[in-house]
Chains A and B, each alone.
Chain A
Amino acid sequence: MSFEFPLLSLIIWLPILFGVAVFATGDDRNAQLARWIALIGSFLGFLVAIPLYTNFDSATGAMQFLENHIWFERFNVNYHIGVDGISMPLILLNCFITPLVVVAGWEVIKERVSQYMGAFLVMSGIVNGVFSSLDAILFYVFWEASLIPMFLIIGIWGGPNRVYAAIKFFLYTLLGSLLMLIAFIYLYHASEGSFSIEDYHKLAIPMTPQILIFIAFLLAFAVKVPMWPVHTWLPDAHVEAPTGGSVVLAAILLKLGGYGFLRFTLPIAPDASHYLAEMMIVLSLIAVVYIGLIALMQADMKKLIAYSSVAHMGFVTLGFFLLNAYGIEGAMVQMISHGFISGAMFLCVGVLYDRLHSRQIADYGGVVNKMPVFSAFFMLFAMANAGLPGTSGFVGEFMVIMGAIKVNFWYAFLAATTLIFGAAYTLWMYKRVIFGAVASPAVESLQDISKREFGLLAILAISVLWIGIYPFPLTEVMHATVDQLLNHVSNSKL
C-alpha cells in the first residue's frame, strides 16, 4: 500500500484526545459542552475510519495500513499496527457504535457528564488499538487499559449492585489476561526476543507448550467472550451497567475475546487447536443450548439479553473451532451482527428503563398501545435476535450451521436448536412486554420515542437489514484473510 498517512494511529488516538478534552471540561456546569465535544469527537472518529474500508485491498490476506516504530528497545517492543480482513470490520463496528452510545446517554446521564462521555471516547480509542496491534505487548497494554473505563462506567453510573458487578468484571478479566501475559513472555523467549505477533505465527512450538499456551489464551479470551462456564460476570455487569455501558459491552468488548481467538489462539497454537477443537465445540454447544434455556427463565429484560449474548457468542466460538471457511466467516458475520443486534436490544430496554425505571418483564405489558413506533423497532430487533431470515442474525447462524454439518451432523443439529430457543426466549419476552392489556398506570403514561431515540434505532435497523439482505460487502473484505488463516492453521507447527 502506498498509503503513507498514519490513518490507523489517527483512528486510535483521535477519540482518546477528544476524550481527554471532554474530561477537561470539568464538572457538570459545562455538561452541555462536554456532550457536544463528545459527539463531535465520536463522529469524527467514525469519519476517519471510513477510508479504512474504502482504501482496503480485499484481494490480500496480508496486513495493511502498516505503521511500525520502535516503542521501547529494552525488550524489543514496537508500536506496530495494521489491519486485515478480520480486524477492519471490527474497528468499523466500534467507530460506528461510539457516536450512538454518546447520543444514547445525551439526556439520560445528568451526573458527572464529562467523565461519562470522556470514558466512552477513551475506550473507543483503546479498543481500536486492541484490534490493530501487531505487537503482543502493545496489544496487551490496550487490552488491559480497556478494563479501566468500563470498570468506572459500571461502578459510577450503574444500578444498585454496581460495585459488586464492577469488581467482578475487573477481576474476572484480569485473571485471564495475566496468564496471557505469561504466554507472551514465554513466546518472547521462545522466539529469541520478539514480541511481533506475526513472528509468533511462524514460530514452531512443541505440543506440550502449545497446549499450555492454548490454555493461557483460552482463559483470557474465554472470559471476555464469555464462554460457558466463565460467563457469570456478564449478566451481573450487564444488569448493573448504564444503557451505554451495556451497549458497548455487548457490541464491542465481547468481540475482543472472539478476535483474540482468531489473531492468537488459532495461528499461534494450530496443533493444540486441532487437538482441543472438540472440547471447544462442546463448550460452545453448552453455551448455545444450556444458556439458551437459562435465558428463557429470566424475569429481568437485561439479564435475558445478556444470556442471549452468551448463547450467540457460543455460536461464534463454535464457528471458529469448526476450522472451516463457513464456520470462521459465519462466526465473523455473527460477531458483527451481534454487535448491532445486542446493541439495539439494550438500547430498546434502555428506552423503557428511562421511562419506567424498571427492567422487570412483569412490570410491563401492553406497551404497544402507548408506544407503537417503538414497538415496531423492538419487533425488528427481537426477530433479528431470534435469527429471522432477512436480518443479519440469520446470516451468521446459517453459515455456522452449514459449517457444522460438514464436521458432524449432531453438532449442526444441536446448534440449530438455537433457532428454536432464541425465538422462544426473545419472542416470549416481547409478547409479555409489548402485547396484552395495558398492565399498570405507569405503562398508561408512557410516551413514544423521541426524535433522538428514533434516529438511533433507525440507524441500527438499517444496518441489521442491510447485512441480512446483502452481506457481500462484509464477507468480501474478510474472505482473503480467512482463507489465509485456514491455510495457516492446517499446517502443523510441531
Chain B
Amino acid sequence: MNFIPPDLAPASSEIFMLIMVCVVMLADLAAGESRRHVAYLLTQITLLGCAILTFISFSTESTLTFHGMFVDDSMADILKLMVYGTVSAVLVYSHSYISDRGMLKGEFFSLILFATLGMMVMISASHFMTLYIGLELLSLSLYALVALRRDSLMATEAAMKFFVLGALASGFLLYGMSMVYGATGTLHVSQVAQIIQSGASSKEVLVVGLVFIVAGIAFKLSAAPFHMWAPDVYQGAPTAVTLFIGSAPKLAAFGFVMRLLVEGMGEMVTDWQGMLVILAVLSMAVGNIAAIAQTNIKRMLAYSTISHMGFLLLGFISADTNGYSSALFYVIAYVLMTLGIFAMIMLLCRSGFEAENIDDFKGLNKRNSWYAFITLLLMLSLTGIPPMIGFYAKFAVLQAVVNAGYVWLAVVAVLFSLIGAFYYLRIIKLMYFDDPETAEPLVSNSDVRILLSANGFAVLALGIFPQALMGLSLYAIQNSM
C-alpha cells in the first residue's frame, strides 16, 4: 500500500467550514432555548473565518488536489468570497424575520452552512463526481430549509415540489454524466476536455450526454422550460429562505456551468450554444411575460429570476473570455439586487403579517421615503436603467452577444426586457403614485438599516464606477482559463 495523503491546503476553507458546521450544531444544543443568538454569531464568525482563509490563500494559478478532483483557482476564490458575503448579508437581513416566526434555531444556521459548503465544493470541483456531490449537498439542504416551517401547508407543498423536481434534475445530470463517462472513459474535467479534443470519443454519445447535462443545468438555474418549480418554491418558502435560494446559489450555479460546460465540454461549444440560445430566449419570454400577471411579489420575482437567468445564459453563448466575464458580472449584479429587494420585502413584514402581495408596497414613499428610494434604485437596476448596475450587467452581456454575431438575439433580449420594464415600473408606481393602505411605521434594526442602505447605494455606486467589478470579473475568468 502506498498512500499519499492529499494536499489539504487548497481546501482549507472547506475543511474549516465543515468543522464549524458541527460546532454550530453542538453549540446551539448546549446554549439551549434562551441563547439562540449564539448560533447566529457563530455562523457569522464561520463565514468571516472562511473569508479570511480564502483571502490569505488567494491563488493566482490553479492548484489541483485530492487526485485532481478539487481545484483552487482565482475564479473559485473570487466566487467563494462573493458567496460568503452574500450568505452573511442573508443572515443579517433575515435575523429578525426568523426570530419573529420561531425559526431562529440551530437547524436554520447549520442547514445554511451546509448549503454554503455545497456551493463551495461546486465552485471548486474539477471532477464530475465532486460537482455532483457539491450540488446535492446544496440541494438537499435547500429542500430542508424550504420545509423548515413544517406546519405551513404552502411551505411543505413547495418543499415537496422542489424535492421531486430537483431529484429528477439530478437524475438527468447523472445520466448525462454517465454518457460522457461512457464516451470518454474518465470523469476528470480536464481529461474529458482533452479526450473530446483528440476526437477519440464517440460524438453521438457525447451529444446525447450533453443534452441531459444541459437539461440538468437548466433545472438548477430555473431556466425555461425547466423553470416550473421556481414560482411555487419562491412563494411557498419563508421569505428568508427565498432570499437565500434566490441569491448565493446563483453564484455557485455560475461556477457549475463554467466547470461543466466551459472547462469540461468546451470543445462541443457549437452543440451547446444552440441549446443555450433556445433556453435563453424561452426564459426571457416566459419570465417577463408571466411576471406581468402576478399579484404575489415573491412569484413575480421568481419569474423575474427566470428572465434574468435567460440573460445570464446569453453571456455564455459568445463562448469567449469576454462573454464569460460578462456573465459573471451579470450574476454578481443580479445577486446584489436580489438581496436588496427581498430584504425590502422582509422589512415590510411584521410579526403576524406576511408581505406577500405587490400591493404591500403601496404608498411606501409616504411611509418612509428613504426605503422607497432604495427600492426605486433596485427596481430601476432590475429593469436595466442606467446609471444603476443592472444596466451595465445587461450592457456587458449584450455586447458579448453582438460580438459573437448574434445581433438578432440582442434585439430579442432588449425587446423582452422592455416587457420586463412594465412590472418593475408597477412597483415604483405603487410606491410613489399610490397612497398607503396602512400607516404603520417600518421598524428595522440598525444593522439591517445600514446594510440595506449600503446595498441600495452599492447598486448606484457600482453603476457609476463599474470598472472595479468589471475588472474583477475579467480577472477571475482570464486567470482560470
Contact partner, A163, options B365, B395, B421, B433, Cβ 8 Å: B433
Report chain B residues within 8 Å CB of A356. Answer: none
A171-B422, A186-B402 given; A145·B386 CB < 8 A: yes
Cross-chain contact A155 with B410 (CB below 8 angstroms): no
A179: interface (CB < 8 Å): yes
Cross-chain contact A156 with B433 (CB below 8 angstroms): yes
B432: interface (CB < 8 Å): yes
Cross-chain contact B429 with A188 (CB below 8 angstroms): no
Report chain A residues within 8 Å CB of B471. Answer: 73-74
A interface, over-half SS: helix
Cross-chain contact A75 with B399 (CB below 8 angstroms): yes
A178-B414, A181-B395 given; A145·B387 CB < 8 A: yes
Docked Cα-Cα span, A64 to B428, in Å, equals: 39
Cross-chain contact B395 with A162 (CB below 8 angstroms): no
Contact partner, B421, options A115, A141, A174, Cβ 8 Å: A174
Residue on A nearest B405 in the bound complex, by CB: A189
B270: interface (CB < 8 Å): no
Report chain A residues within 8 Å CB of B387. Answer: 141, 145
Which of B410-424 touch A at CB < 8 Å?
A: 410-411, 414-415, 417-418, 421-422
B474: interface (CB < 8 Å): yes
Cross-chain contact A72 with B470 (CB below 8 angstroms): yes
Cross-chain contact A182 with B414 (CB below 8 angstroms): yes
Residue on B nearest A167 in the bound complex, by CB: B425
B398: interface (CB < 8 Å): yes
Docked Cα-Cα span, A179 to B411, in Å, equals: 7
Report chain A residues within 8 Å CB of B411. Answer: 179, 182
Contact with B along A54-83 (1 / 0, CB 8 A): 000000000000000001111100000000
Report chain A residues within 8 Å CB of B403. Answer: 189
B208: interface (CB < 8 Å): no
B168 to chain A, nearest CB (A): 37
Residue on A nearest B414 in the bound complex, by CB: A178
B interface, over-half SS: helix
Contact with B along A130-162 (1 / 0, CB 8 A): 000000010011001101100110011000001
Cross-chain contact A152 with B432 (CB below 8 angstroms): yes
B53: interface (CB < 8 Å): no
Contact partner, B418, options A73, A175, A185, A189, Cβ 8 Å: A175
A27: interface (CB < 8 Å): yes
B382 to chain A, nearest CB (A): 13
Cross-chain contact A162 with B433 (CB below 8 angstroms): yes
Docked Cα-Cα span, A162 to B421, in Å, equals: 18
A170: interface (CB < 8 Å): yes
Report chain B residues within 8 Å CB of A147. Answer: 385
B26: interface (CB < 8 Å): no
Docked Cα-Cα span, A73 to B474, in Å, equals: 11
Contact partner, B425, options A71, A75, A170, A182, Cβ 8 Å: A170
Docked Cα-Cα span, A174 to B380, in Å, equals: 12
Cross-chain contact B396 with A75 (CB below 8 angstroms): yes
Docked Cα-Cα span, A115 to B417, in Å, equals: 28
Cross-chain contact B422 with A167 (CB below 8 angstroms): yes
Docked Cα-Cα span, A166 to B421, in Å, equals: 13
Cross-chain contact B429 with A167 (CB below 8 angstroms): yes
Q: Number of contact residues on A: which range applies?
A: 35 or more
B197: interface (CB < 8 Å): no
Report chain B residues within 8 Å CB of A185. Answer: 395, 398-399, 402, 410
Docked Cα-Cα span, A178 to B432, in Å, equals: 25
A141-B387, A155-B433, A163-B433 given; A115·B418 CB < 8 A: no
Report chain B residues within 8 Å CB of A74. Answer: 396, 466-467, 470-471, 474
B369: interface (CB < 8 Å): yes
Report chain A residues within 8 Å CB of B369. Answer: 26-27, 115
Docked Cα-Cα span, A332 to B387, in Å, equals: 29
Report chain B residues within 8 Å CB of A188. Answer: 399, 402
Report chain B residues within 8 Å CB of A144. Answer: 385-386, 391
B407: interface (CB < 8 Å): yes
Docked Cα-Cα span, A174 to B415, in Å, equals: 10
Contact with A along B355-373 (1 / 0, CB 8 A): 0000000000100010000
Residue on A nearest B370 in the bound complex, by CB: A26
Cross-chain contact A182 with B407 (CB below 8 angstroms): yes
Report chain A residues within 8 Å CB of B398. Answer: 181-182, 185
A74-B474, A182-B414, A185-B410 given; A156·B385 CB < 8 A: no
Report chain B residues within 8 Å CB of A27. Answer: 369
A155-B432, A163-B433 given; A178·B425 CB < 8 A: no
B368 to chain A, nearest CB (A): 11
Contact partner, B429, options A73, A163, A175, A189, Cβ 8 Å: A163
Cross-chain contact A171 with B418 (CB below 8 angstroms): yes
Residue on B nearest A26 in the bound complex, by CB: B369
Report chain A residues within 8 Å CB of B474. Answer: 74
Which of B426-445 touch A at CB < 8 Å?
A: 426, 428-429, 432-433
Cross-chain contact A166 with B380 (CB below 8 angstroms): no
Contact partner, B402, options A72, A174, A182, Cβ 8 Å: A182
Report chain A residues within 8 Å CB of B396. Answer: 74-75
Docked Cα-Cα span, A409 to B211, in Å, equals: 65
Cross-chain contact B421 with A170 (CB below 8 angstroms): yes
Contact with A along B439-481 (1 / 0, CB 8 A): 0000000000000000000000000011100110010000000
A122 to chain B, nearest CB (A): 12
Cross-chain contact A148 with B391 (CB below 8 angstroms): no
Report chain A residues within 8 Å CB of B466. Answer: 72, 74
B479 to chain A, nearest CB (A): 15
Docked Cα-Cα span, A186 to B400, in Å, equals: 10
Docked Cα-Cα span, A112 to B365, in Å, equals: 10
Contact partner, B385, options A112, A137, A148, A175, Cβ 8 Å: A148
Which of A67-113 touch B at CB < 8 Å?
A: 71-75, 112
Report chain A residues within 8 Å CB of B417. Answer: 178
Docked Cα-Cα span, A115 to B365, in Å, equals: 10
Report chain B residues within 8 Å CB of A75. Answer: 395-396, 399, 470
Residue on A nearest B430 in the bound complex, by CB: A163
Extra inter-chain contacts (6) besides given A72-B466, A181-B398, A182-B407, CB under 8 Å = A75-B395, A141-B386, A155-B432, A163-B433, A167-B422, A170-B421
Q: What are 29 pairs between A and B in contact, CB < 8 Å?
A: A26-B369, A71-B467, A72-B465, A72-B466, A72-B470, A73-B467, A75-B399, A137-B395, A144-B385, A144-B391, A156-B365, A163-B429, A167-B422, A167-B425, A167-B429, A171-B418, A171-B422, A171-B425, A174-B385, A174-B418, A178-B418, A179-B414, A181-B395, A181-B398, A182-B410, A182-B411, A182-B414, A185-B402, A186-B407
Q: Which residues of B contact A (CB under 8 A)?
A: 365, 369, 380, 385-387, 391, 395-396, 398-399, 402-403, 407, 410-411, 414-415, 417-418, 421-422, 425-426, 428-429, 432-433, 465-467, 470-471, 474
The 6 closest A-B pairs by CB, nearest first: A72-B467, A178-B414, A141-B386, A74-B470, A155-B433, A185-B402
